[in-house]
């Protein structure tokens, strides 16, 4: 049994954890939920030795332990999988799995055959399948995650921490992950499981704990409270999870805002679609359907083979994201660490970086005052949880970092905003607020595109949905046709797919 | 429990600058260099009364001015995550161009020196094109550019120094208000760099390219142009350094400034700028350059042999980098 007792952790100006005591039994899944910035990741980092607690202790089978880095916690049998993977992209799966713990032949050389063999066994035992020889950069996110899990569990592993493992997975991959977790359970591994998708918690967890503002407010068996009660515990009041009502707007035959007549990039069909003023267009599909690729090609980040696009009826070249932004088309990237955040920068600079042209004084200098006002406004609007916007953005919790890059898109004053997985890592309450905001933006006449793997989200907020598969648009759904059956049907290739 | 109200920004916090924000001065990586500088000055002034004299201090600033000016351009380049090894060669080229224009062609000083700076800029732009347009690694491109300008300078002068008349020594040797002109030029270059990096959007983009290039592109920043610009700036500052050197030495020197790029990089790194890009401050570079200059001067005064001096310099550089690394944010 793993026990954390009276854990307290401070960051400058923030009491991130105050007197938290949780236990994890082997062979059990213990879910930890809470709003963005509640302290979930911090707690897990204390457990795995990334941070040192200011107070409190950790006990394994009643013996106190004090890991000071992840290597030490691994030796104690505690493994953590961070949301940002720590794999070496150019090494293949088994090289990653055994990195730093290579199996050697008696002569001291690498014993590739045994490593391969062991990795293969581990794959089989978890019932996952993918090529072991391929560089992990070429694997899907779900496969990379499997590599992480095997890396964590192939040596001594009694306790496994999964921090938002499902945030980047599609529903089918989530099911697969749960299968893997169940296999680990039957091997007597105990899991801490963090997620903002509460339905997942009810599927997989045995116990659930709620953190709020760094305090421990609840622990109980999963059956002891329903979703709404759980949310009420998380936010300290009751909130509706429901989506804002869609306005019944007439189908406009008006000229589209963006008319994509032809768009073809390597590996895609010739795509054509339109985005109208005042509508929220959803783009659904499975991983590998080419959704992100299409829009990166559209805004000129990636090369295209054919492109014919009209903005407000006028042809537009869109040769680079700069040109796109200059003509009022903004894009929010799906992978915030890799292509969204400037980690060394302050929160403020991260918010205003795309709109510096609008915070200049009349001499062309960046006006500190305007910059502060802009960032302050969006921090309030997005409810980014921080004591100062001059803090480094890496000091924010994951969900709040996501809010910061959404704020950046909003600050640009675009007429068309493309959001790629906008609510990844964002808590239930904040999600609902973002949906309301999207509606408001659409009502103001903006065109909004939401690329999302979160089906309820697509169904809940979009006025029209494109379903993509293998680089082509398989269906365009409107009104009552926007439902999970139809979307999944087209996304997985049904109906003359 | 967030101790101040959540999602509420403290409007009273001063705008320090936008990267190392909120950190006290002690947490800055260049703090070590600053302390080392202070200790060095104090220690040397106790051991040698000639050290802490106005003359000597002025002398030091003039000596460091060339390295410091080059280091300004280098700071821009390193902030984008690049490196420029060609600056020493640019100094040599600029120097021979200037001397050639004056002595062989009879151009006036202002024209000759401007052309020398332009020559430096062209070399920088050339590196920039290969780096920005063809995405070649900066270290390779500028390694090649270490050879070409120096070769051109040597070819032009046949490998010999090219003397200029004494009257052209004004810029490198004279004083205004008791301050050496090279020192004043150095301060001017730093001031301009400060304004660009901290007050103009384009400066923010320089940091952004080094901070996360992918994010920079998607934030609508023309990263190619920024890269082109920083190498051009580096060429310009090296060109200016060449002009000062020519005026000071009263000759164009195709063999000068060998290894100068390493001093410039050392100044930038001692000044706390991250070699990975995205983090750093131009004033740190000034501290770094001064530290190197004072170190040279005081080690000479103490009477340490040039050989031992190199060892001491290397050790200081290592300690400074280690110190900066240990104080990196997000480390416990
Ligand atoms: N390295 C850090 N330096 C300073 N403050 C930090 C640091 N890491 C986290 N914090 C602060 O600690 C608090 C808890 O953050 P934590 O990342 O644990 O939240 P979380 O529950 O994981 O949220 P999310 O759901 O958004 O991932 C937040 O207020 C955050 O700003
Ligand atoms: Mg987190």
Task: Quote the Cα angle for A149-A151-A156, to 5°.
Answer: 100
Placement of tokens 């740190």 in the chain: B284
Strand pairing class (A78-81; A159-163): parallel
Which chain B residues are closer than 8 Å to A215 by Cβ? 1
How far apart, in whole angstroms, are the C-alpha atoms of residue A258 and residue A273? 9
Atom of ligand 1 nearest to the CA of A385: 29
Using an 8 Å Cβ cutoff, are A124 and A180 in contact? no
Q: Is A329 helix (H, G, I), strand (E, B) or coil?
A: strand
Q: Does residue A38 line the site of ligand 1, with CB under 6 A?
A: yes
**Partners of A155 in beta bridges:** none
Domain ranges of chain A: 2-235, 256-491
At B252-281, the pLDDT tens digits run: 999 998 999 999 999 999 998 988 999 999
CB contact set of A488 (below 8 Å; sequence gap of 6+): A455
CB contact set of A61 (below 8 Å; sequence gap of 6+): A1
Q: Does residue A429 line the site of ligand 1, with CB under 6 A?
A: no
Cα A471 to the center of its chain, rounded Å:
23
Placement of tokens 């051109």 in the chain: B152
CA atoms within 13 A on the CB side of B98: 35
Provide, rounded to the nearest whole percent, the portion of chain B with pLDDT above 90.
68
Q: Which residues of B62-94 are buried (b: 16+ CB within 10 A; e: fewer)?
A: bbbbbbbbbbbbbbbbbbbbbbbbbbbbbbbbb
Q: Does residue A40 line the site of ligand 1, with CB under 6 A?
A: yes
Using an 8 Å Cβ cutoff, are B208 and B219 in contact? yes
Using an 8 Å Cβ cutoff, are B269 and B317 in contact? yes
Res B6 pLDDT > 50: no
How far apart, in whole angstroms, are the C-alpha atoms of residue B145 and residue B85? 8
pTM of the model: 0.88
Token pair of A271 as six digits = 């795509």
Q: Does residue A45 line the site of ligand 1, with CB under 6 A?
A: no
Strand pairing class (A14-24; B162-163): unpaired
Atom of ligand 1 nearest to the CA of A12: 4
Q: Does residue A36 line the site of ligand 1, with CB under 6 A?
A: yes
Beta-carbon neighbour count of residue B11 at 10 Å? 10
* Alpha helices by DSSP H, A190-310: 198-204, 227-235, 291-298
Task: Quote the Cα angle for B207-B208-B212, to 5°.
Answer: 120
Task: Quote the Cα angle for A95-A97-A100, to 5°.
Answer: 75
Which bin fits A417, alpha (ψ -120 to 50), beta or left (φ > 0)? beta
Q: Is A439 helix (H, G, I), strand (E, B) or coil?
A: helix
Q: Do B219 and A321 touch (CB under 8 A)?
A: yes
Ligand 2 mean position to A252 CA, how many Å? Answer: 41
Closest Cα in chain A to B210: A342
Closest Cα in chain B to A54: B332
Which bin fits B185, alpha (ψ -120 to 50), beta or left (φ > 0)? alpha
Q: Does residue A37 line the site of ligand 1, with CB under 6 A?
A: yes
Token pair of B236 as six digits = 């310009």
Q: Does residue A7 line the site of ligand 1, with CB under 6 A?
A: no
- Candidates A345, A383, A389: best to mutate against B (most CBs of B within 10 A) is A345
Distance from CA of A79 to the nearest CA of B (A): 20
Give nearest CA residue, ligand 1 atom 12: A16
How far apart, in whole angstroms, are the C-alpha atoms of residue A349 and residue A332? 16
Give nearest CA residue, ligand 1 atom 25: A36
Which chain A residues are closer than 8 Å to B218 by Cβ? 301, 321, 331, 333, 339-340
Please give the pLDDT value at position A241: 63
Instruction: For the sheet with A447-451, list strands across it.
Output: A329-332, A416-420, A447-451, A280-285, A464-469, A472-478
Q: Does residue A11 line the site of ligand 1, with CB under 6 A?
A: yes
DSSP structure string for A50-108? SS--SEEEEEETTEEE---SHHHHHHTTEEEE-SS----TTSBHHHHHTTTS--B-TTS
Please give the pLDDT value at position B13: 36
Taking only the tens of pLDDT, chain A with its 497 residues reads 999 999 999 998 889 999 999 999 999 999 999 999 999 999 999 999 999 999 999 999 999 999 998 888 988 999 998 877 788 888 988 888 888 888 888 888 888 888 888 888 888 888 888 888 888 888 887 888 888 888 888 888 899 999 998 887 877 788 888 988 999 999 999 999 999 999 999 999 999 999 999 999 999 999 998 888 898 898 876 666 667 777 655 555 567 899 999 999 988 899 999 999 889 999 998 877 889 999 999 999 999 999 999 999 999 999 999 999 999 999 999 888 889 999 989 999 999 999 998 888 888 899 999 999 999 999 999 999 998 999 999 999 999 999 999 999 999 989 999 999 999 888 988 888 889 889 989 988 899 999 998 888 999 999 999 999 989 999 999 888 999 889 988 988 876 54
Using an 8 Å Cβ cutoff, are A340 and A405 in contact? yes
Distance from CA of A14 to the nearest CA of B (A): 5
Q: Do B15 and A331 touch (CB under 8 A)?
A: no
Beta-carbon neighbour count of residue A319 at 10 Å? 12
Token pair of B269 as six digits = 């790194």
How far apart, in whole angstroms, are the C-alpha atoms of residue A468 and residue B182? 64
- Taking the CA atoms of residue B242, residue B244, residue B246 and residue B249 in that order, the dihedral angle to the nearest 10 degrees is -130
Cα A95 to the center of its chain, rounded Å:
26
How far apart, in whole angstroms, are the C-alpha atoms of residue B124 and residue B56? 34
CB contact set of A150 (below 8 Å; sequence gap of 6+): A93, A97, A119, A122, A123, A126
Ligand that comes closest to the CA of residue A404: 1
Q: Which one is predicted more confidently, B325 or B215?
A: B215
Q: Do domains A2-235 and A256-491 have the same CATH topology?
A: yes
Cα B173 to the center of its chain, rounded Å:
21
Ligand that comes closest to the CA of residue A44: 1
Q: Do B211 and A343 touch (CB under 8 A)?
A: yes
Q: Is B77 helix (H, G, I), strand (E, B) or coil?
A: helix
Q: What are phi and psi of A16, to 5 degrees?
A: -75, -35
Token pair of B263 as six digits = 């001093």
- Taking the CA atoms of residue A198, residue A201, residue A206 and residue A207 in that order, the dihedral angle to the nearest 10 degrees is -50
Using an 8 Å Cβ cutoff, are A218 and A31 in contact? no
Atom of ligand 1 nearest to the CA of A38: 21
Beta-carbon neighbour count of residue B167 at 10 Å? 9
How far apart, in whole angstroms, are the C-alpha atoms of residue A56 and residue A73? 17
- Candidates B3, B22, B206: best to mutate against A (most CBs of A within 10 A) is B22
Fold classification of A256-491 (topology level): Rossmann fold (3.40.50)
Top CATH class of A2-235 equals alpha beta
Res B136 pLDDT > 90: yes
Q: Does residue B218 line the site of ligand 1, with CB under 6 A?
A: no
Report which of B298, B52, B49, B62 is spatially closest to residue B178, judged by C-alpha positions.
B62
How far apart, in whole angstroms, are the C-alpha atoms of residue B216 and residue B140? 23
Q: Give me the count of residues in chain A.
A: 497
Ligand 2 mean position to A214 CA, how many Å? Answer: 12
Closest Cα in chain A to B79: A344
Which residues from B are below 8 Å from A when comparing CB atoms?
Answer: 1-4, 6-11, 13, 15-16, 18-19, 21-22, 195, 199-201, 204, 207-208, 211-212, 214-222, 274, 278-279, 329-330, 332
Q: Do A344 and B279 touch (CB under 8 A)?
A: yes
How far apart, in whole angstroms, are the C-alpha atoms of residue B314 and residue B320? 10
Task: Quote the Cα angle for A33-A36-A42, to 5°.
Answer: 75
Alpha carbon of A98 to those of A105, A121, A134, A180: distances in Å?
14, 14, 15, 20
Ligand 1 mean position to B332 CA, how many Å? Answer: 15
Q: What are phi and psi of A124, to 5 degrees?
A: -65, -40
Distance from CA of B215 to the nearest CA of A (A): 4
Res B4 pLDDT > 50: no
Q: Do A387 and B218 touch (CB under 8 A)?
A: no
- Candidates B191, B200, B219, B274: best to mutate against A (most CBs of A within 10 A) is B219
How far apart, in whole angstroms, are the C-alpha atoms of residue A340 and residue A329? 16
Q: What are phi and psi of A467, to 5 degrees?
A: -110, 125
CA atoms within 13 A on the CB side of B317: 16
At B95-131, the pLDDT tens digits run: 999 999 999 999 999 999 999 999 999 999 999 999 9
Q: What are phi and psi of A245, to 5 degrees?
A: -60, 140
Number of H helices, E strands in chain A: 17, 20
Which chain A residues are closer than 8 Å to B8 by Cβ? 380
**Pairs across A and B, CB distance < 8 A:** 144
Mean pLDDT of chain B: 88
Q: Does residue A41 line the site of ligand 1, with CB under 6 A?
A: yes
How far apart, in whole angstroms, are the C-alpha atoms of residue A327 and residue A310? 11
Closest Cα in chain B to A385: B7
Q: Do B7 and A390 touch (CB under 8 A)?
A: no
Atom of ligand 1 nearest to the CA of A427: 25
Cα B81 to the center of its chain, rounded Å:
15
Closest Cα in chain B to A404: B7
- Candidates B218, B227, B328, B331: best to mutate against A (most CBs of A within 10 A) is B218
Alpha carbon of A229 to those of A37, A222, A370, A480: distances in Å?
20, 12, 42, 30
At B66-104, the pLDDT tens digits run: 999 999 999 999 999 999 999 999 999 999 999 999 999
Euclidean distance between the first and final Cα of chain B, in Å? 21
Which chain B residues are closer than 8 Å to A214 by Cβ? 1-2
Give nearest CA residue, ligand 1 atom 10: A395
Ligand 1 mean position to A13 CA, how many Å? Answer: 12
- Taking the CA atoms of residue B244, residue B250, residue B252 and residue B253 in that order, the dihedral angle to the nearest 10 degrees is -90
How far apart, in whole angstroms, are the C-alpha atoms of residue A164 and residue A33? 10
**Partners of A448 in beta bridges:** A280, A417
CB contact set of A200 (below 8 Å; sequence gap of 6+): A166, A174, A178
């Amino acid at each position: 049994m793993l026990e954390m007792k009276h854990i307290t952790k401070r960051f400058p100006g923030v009491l991130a954890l105050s007197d938290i005591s949780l236990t994890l039994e082997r062979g059990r899944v213990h879910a930890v939920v809470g709003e963005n910035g509640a302290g979930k990741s911090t707690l897990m980092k204390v457990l795995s030795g990334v941070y040192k607690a200011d107070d409190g202790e950790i006990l394994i089978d009643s013996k106190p332990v004090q890991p000071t880095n992840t290597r030490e916690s691994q030796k104690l049998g505690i493994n953590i999988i961070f949301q940002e993977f720590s794999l070496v992209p150019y090494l293949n799966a088994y090289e990653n799995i055994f990195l730093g713990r290579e199996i050697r032949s008696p002569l001291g050389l690498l014993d590739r055959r045994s490593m391969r063999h062991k990795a293969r066994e581990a794959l089989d035992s978890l019932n996952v399948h993918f090529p072991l020889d391929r560089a992990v950069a070429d694997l899907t996110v779900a496969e990379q995650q499997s590599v992480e899990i095997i890396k964590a569990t192939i040596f001594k592993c009694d306790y496994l921490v999964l921090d938002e493992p499902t945030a980047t997975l599609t529903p089918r991959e989530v099911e697969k992950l749960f299968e893997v977790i169940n296999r680990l359970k039957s091997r007597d591994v105990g899991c801490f499981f963090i997620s903002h998708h509460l339905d997942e918690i009810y599927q997989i967890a045995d116990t659930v704990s709620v953190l709020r503002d760094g305090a421990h407010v609840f622990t109980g068996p999963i059956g002891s409270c329903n979703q709404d009660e759980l949310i009420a515990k998380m936010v300290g009041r009751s909130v509706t999870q429901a989506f804002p009502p869609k306005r019944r707007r007439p189908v406009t035959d008006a000229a589209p805002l963006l008319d994509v007549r032809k768009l073809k990039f390597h590996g895609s069909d010739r795509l054509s679609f339109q985005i109208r003023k005042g509508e929220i267009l959803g783009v659904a599909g499975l991983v590998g359907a080419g959704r992100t690729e299409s829009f990166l090609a559209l805004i000129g980040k990636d090369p295209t083979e054919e492109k014919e696009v009209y903005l407000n009826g006028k042809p537009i070249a869109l040769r680079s994201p700069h040109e796109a932004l200059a003509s009022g088309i903004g894009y929010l990237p799906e992978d915030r660490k890799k292509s969204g955040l400037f980690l060394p920068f302050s929160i403020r600079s991260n918010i205003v970086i795309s709109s510096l042209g609008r915070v200049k004084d009349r001499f062309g200098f960046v006006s500190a005052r305007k910059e502060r006002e802009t960032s302050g406004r969006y921090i309030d609007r997005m409810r980014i949880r921080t004591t100062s916007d001059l803090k480094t953005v890496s000091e924010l919790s994951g969900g709040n970092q996501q809010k910061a890059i959404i704020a950046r898109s909003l600050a640009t004053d675009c007429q068309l905003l493309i959001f790629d997985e906008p609510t990844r890592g964002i808590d239930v309450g904040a999600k609902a607020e973002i949906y309301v905001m999207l509606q408001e933006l659409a009502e103001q006449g903006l065109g909004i595109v939401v690329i999302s793997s979160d089906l309820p989200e697509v169904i809940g907020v979009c006025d029209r949905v494109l379903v993509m598969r293998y680089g082509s648009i398989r269906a365009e759904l409107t009104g009552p046709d926007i439902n999970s059956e139809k979307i999944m049907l087209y996304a997985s290739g049904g109906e003359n797919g | 429990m967030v101790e101040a109200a959540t999602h509420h920004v403290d409007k009273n916090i001063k705008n320090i600058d936008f990267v190392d924000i909120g950190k006290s001065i002690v947490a800055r990586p260049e703090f070590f260099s600053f302390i080392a500088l202070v200790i060095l000055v104090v220690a040397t002034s106790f051991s040698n009364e000639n050290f802490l004299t106005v003359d000597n201090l002025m002398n030091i600033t003039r000596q460091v001015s060339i390295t410091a000016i080059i280091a300004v351009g280098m700071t821009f380049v390193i902030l984008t995550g690049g490196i420029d090894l060609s600056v020493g060669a640019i100094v040599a080229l600029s120097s021979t161009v200037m001397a050639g224009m004056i002595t062989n062609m009879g151009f006036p000083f202002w024209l000759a020196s401007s052309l020398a700076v332009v020559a430096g800029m062209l070399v920088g732009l050339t590196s920039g094109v290969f780096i920005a347009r063809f995405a070649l690694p900066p270290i390779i491109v500028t390694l090649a550019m270490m050879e070409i300008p120096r070769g051109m300078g040597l070819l032009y002068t046949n490998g010999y120094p090219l003397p200029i008349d004494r009257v052209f020594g004004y810029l490198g040797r004279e004083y205004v208000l008791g301050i050496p002109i090279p020192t004043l030029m150095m301060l001017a270059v730093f001031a301009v760099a400060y304004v660009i990096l901290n007050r103009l959007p384009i400066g923010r983009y320089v940091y952004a390219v080094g901070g996360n290039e992918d994010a920079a592109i998607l934030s609508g920043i023309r990263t190619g142009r920024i890269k082109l610009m920083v190498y051009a700036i580096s060429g310009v500052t090296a060109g200016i350094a060449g002009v000062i050197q020519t005026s000071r030495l009263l000759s164009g020197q195709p063999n000068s400034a060998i290894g100068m790029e390493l001093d410039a990089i050392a100044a930038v790194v001692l000044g706390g700028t991250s070699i990975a890009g995205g983090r750093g401050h131009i004033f740190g570079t000034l501290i770094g350059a001064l530290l190197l200059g004072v170190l040279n001067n005081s080690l000479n005064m103490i009477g340490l042999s040039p050989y031992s001096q190199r060892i001491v310099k290397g050790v200081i550089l290592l300690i400074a980098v280690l110190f900066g690394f240990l104080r990196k944010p997000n480390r416990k």
